[in-house]
């Protein structure tokens, strides 16, 4: 299911989602058109819709490895919080807690 269809199925507008993510509506529209994106951006989008993202890797030998351990800790540290997120080129990125270089 495409992101746009998922958002519509959840009965939310791009404006609703933008408000939840702390970005502008054009950033949501751009993200919905992307064919490739960071997992952290997808996670933020899904969480803003009220869901949670789980990733499972399946291997030809029949083994299964769920997204756990180090990867899980890294993603858990990527807060999807409108105080920390902003849109940059259609990607939601964390704002640094410290100013780098002093220029905007």
pLDDT value for 62: 65
pLDDT value for 95: 40
Q: In this structure, is residue 68 part of a structural domain?
A: yes
Q: In this structure, is residue 104 part of a structural domain?
A: no
pLDDT value for 61: 72
Domain that holds residue 67: 3-94
Q: Which residues contact 44 (CB under 8 A, 6 or more apart)?
A: 21, 78, 80, 85, 92
Q: In this structure, is residue 101 part of a structural domain?
A: no
Q: In this structure, is residue 29 part of a structural domain?
A: yes
**Overall number of domains in the chain:** 1
In the beta sheet, which residues pair with residue 88? 91
**Using CA atoms, how far apart are residues 92 and 84, in angstroms rounded to an integer?**
9
The residue assigned the tokens 């519509």 is 8
**Using CA atoms, how far apart are residues 85 and 38, in angstroms rounded to an integer?**
14
Q: In this structure, is residue 100 part of a structural domain?
A: no
Q: In this structure, is residue 19 part of a structural domain?
A: yes
The per-residue pLDDT string of the chain (104 residues; one tens digit each, 9 = 90 and over) reads 899 999 999 999 999 999 999 999 999 999 999 999 999 999 999 999 999 998 888 777 765 555 554 455 455 555 665 544 544 444 554 443 333 344 43
């Amino acid at each position: 299911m495409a992101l746009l269809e998922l958002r519509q199925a959840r009965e939310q507008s791009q404006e609703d989602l933008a408000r939840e993510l702390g970005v502008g509506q054009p950033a949501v529209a751009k993200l919905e058109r992307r064919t490739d994106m960071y997992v952290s951006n997808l996670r933020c989008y899904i969480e803003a819709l009220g869901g949670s993202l789980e990733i499972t890797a399946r291997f030809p030998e029949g083994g299964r490895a769920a997204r756990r351990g180090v990867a899980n800790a890294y993603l858990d540290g990527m807060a999807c919080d409108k105080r920390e997120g902003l849109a940059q080129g259609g990607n939601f990125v964390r704002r640094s807690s410290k100013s780098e270089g002093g220029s905007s």
